[in-house]
Structure 1
């Protein structure tokens, strides 16, 4: 009995050993490396497929403007494959669209740390602008120029930043460089024109706006800017013509209606001015400036009640609109409402309107 049990154990052990040898045969080092490489390839293929699925899902959510869901899917993609550049890029785009600027900055930075990626540098600069960190944006545009010194776009963007900062000298220099690299860039001519206008180079501004229009006659805002430059140059008829072309280019361009209305107002053509201000308000009924301007036109026509209503509307939209307080005060004075006039002048003065302060001191103290 004991002998049988012993033999049985031996047999079972022998079978077990045979089985082990069949499942894990003796491999040479070269064969082991080959086996491991195949396993790695299978793993890479599986990882690639999973990350691509997450990425595609993110794109689908993004197309539907479901940005939070898109962000989660892109995050899943980069978690699976940390070197998935397009997933990082679209993650940053989705975060930017969702106004998650700090997160977007980090996503574009993750790309830049991995490679010299010009698109990511441009986007990170755009994020910095959204966060009003202008100098960080300049750093990224400068970095782009190290790699691509003939790229006109960084110079253009830096010109815009210097314009925002009120540094018109450097803005002009940047726009000049952008135009030198791309002499058919309408936007650069437009923005250089605006810079020249701020430097009181009215003729230079007009020349730049006209050049921009010759390159691209479909830019309504350039006609508007040309109109403003011609107004500053005392060419009122030329200004009306420019604003009118802006309106014909874009019939919903409410600012051009308002600006053309101011020319009619200046020329004393109050009914035409009212028509333009009313057109502006029909397009954008939250544009307080048009209500204020139409109120002035009604006041000039001695339609004081209508004027008061427009000033009221302007102040309802913007309670800190000093000019509307001033104009309503002036109109109330014409209606012999001295207390009302003094209250409005006082309010305007507290908001920094110097003319209102003078009126208050002269009439109310």
Structure 2
């Protein structure tokens, strides 16, 4: 049968053109739907409905997979729900889609500054420094890294810059308190924590840290009051560990033990909880068990506060004064007043 090639080619071109129109129309519709979901996600986020916000941002991403802003905002919502891994993945994806996405880089740097990926965070902050030279919170994030690296003078400089830019930055004041606490300057630490709380009564980290200052003064009842306020604002293993420790020191051993066991059930390698269990066993005169828990805590994280003091007590009560003095000497080098006192009293 004879075929008109010109007609056939024309039909192909028309069909291809129509397909293109349909595809373009579909893409346009997806983009509009995506933008609508994105807006709804932002509204939900502002209302504090983070789960709903994540749903909307996910819908936006499904409609437009290259939507970098949706990834960034979903990361922010995930961070609000303490889904650290999910937030990091979203910020990283946003940056991979848009290498000039400054806000996503800052968000990623900030979250990494509270993890063991400090060098990556520091590198990211350096790449965006010129964009955030007038940002008080940029210098707070920088201070997070410097504090974790035990670079306290540099952290202080960063925080002073933050306060020049915003004298009412409660996070900067809280971090200055942390620096002073690490330097054993508890009077100034207390002042900074109290000022941060005055500016922001919901500054849970400052409330928790202030409780630690009162614990240093052996005022465990006040410490309990403050850590309970922090826990009412945010459920944190760090705060729960502190509460357990304060309960042990107010002779509420059963209540303290309950918290410790729950923490260890969630994470058997929680060094602070293991230290607290060691303290619990020490108070119950179960010295072998105390040593077992305290030694494990020391292997996991030798920087846990007062660990050497309690190891010394456990060894001393087990009849090993030599080992006890060894640990109190380490505690003295770490500026632990209680270890230094035991060293003077017992280790002549």
TM superposition score normalised by structure 2:
0.61
The offset of 1:355, in angstroms, is 6.5
Q: Distance in 2 between matches of 1:212 and 1:90?
A: 28
Residue 283 of structure 1: aligned partner: 259
Residue 177 of structure 2: aligned partner: 193
Which runs of structure 2 are paired with 1:50-65 in the superposition (5 Å)?
A: none
Q: Any idea what SS the aligned residue of 1:160 has?
A: helix
Give a deviation string over 1:196-249, Cα, whole Å, max 9, x none: 2223443322210110121223344423422433555xx444x64244233255
Q: Does residue 247 in structure 1 map to residue 224 in structure 2?
A: no
Residue 246 of structure 2: aligned partner: 260
1:224–1:246 CA contact under 8 A, matched in 2:
yes
Q: Any idea what SS the aligned residue of 1:150 has?
A: coil
1:186–1:212 CA contact under 8 A, matched in 2:
yes
1:291–1:313 CA contact under 8 A, matched in 2:
no
Q: Distance in 1 between matches of 2:108 and 2:208?
A: 31
1:278–1:294 CA contact under 8 A, matched in 2:
no
The offset of 1:155, in angstroms, is 0.9
The offset of 1:51, in angstroms, is 7.2
Q: Distance in 2 between matches of 1:108 and 1:119?
A: 10
Q: Does residue 274 in structure 1 map to residue 257 in structure 2?
A: no
Indicate the larger mover: 248-257 or 195-204.
Answer: 248-257
Question: CA distance change for structure 1 residues 208 and 127 in 2, over 3 Å: closer, same or farther?
Answer: closer
Q: Distance in 2 between matches of 1:121 and 1:331?
A: 53
Which runs of structure 2 are paired with 1:28-107 in the superposition (5 Å)?
A: 42-49=22-29, 77-78=64-65, 82=66, 84-86=67-69, 89=72, 99=85, 107=93
Q: Any idea what SS the aligned residue of 1:154 has?
A: helix
The offset of 1:176, in angstroms, is 1.8
Kindly report the root-mean-square deviation, in angstroms, between the aligned alpha carbons of the 2 structures: 5.1
TM superposition score normalised by structure 1:
0.58
Q: Does residue 184 in structure 1 map to residue 141 in structure 2?
A: no
Residue 293 of structure 2: aligned partner: 314
Residue 281 of structure 2: aligned partner: 295
**Which residues of structure 2 form unaligned runs of 5+?**
42-49, 265-272, 301-306, 331-348
The offset of 1:112, in angstroms, is 3.5
The offset of 1:169, in angstroms, is 1.0
Q: Distance in 1 between matches of 2:164 and 2:155?
A: 14
Residue 109 of structure 1: aligned partner: 95
Give a deviation string over 1:14-49, Cα, whole Å, max 9, x none: xx4896799699xxxxxx9xx97x976643332344
**Which residues of structure 1 form unaligned runs of 5+?**
1-8, 26-31, 265-272, 299-303, 334-340, 357-365
Question: Which structure's CA Rg is the greater one?
Answer: 1
Q: Any idea what SS the aligned residue of 1:250 has?
A: helix
Q: Distance in 1 between matches of 2:140 and 2:150?
A: 15
Q: Distance in 1 between matches of 2:72 and 2:206?
A: 33
Which runs of structure 2 are paired with 1:3-22 in the superposition (5 Å)?
A: 16=4
Q: Distance in 1 between matches of 2:75 and 2:205?
A: 30
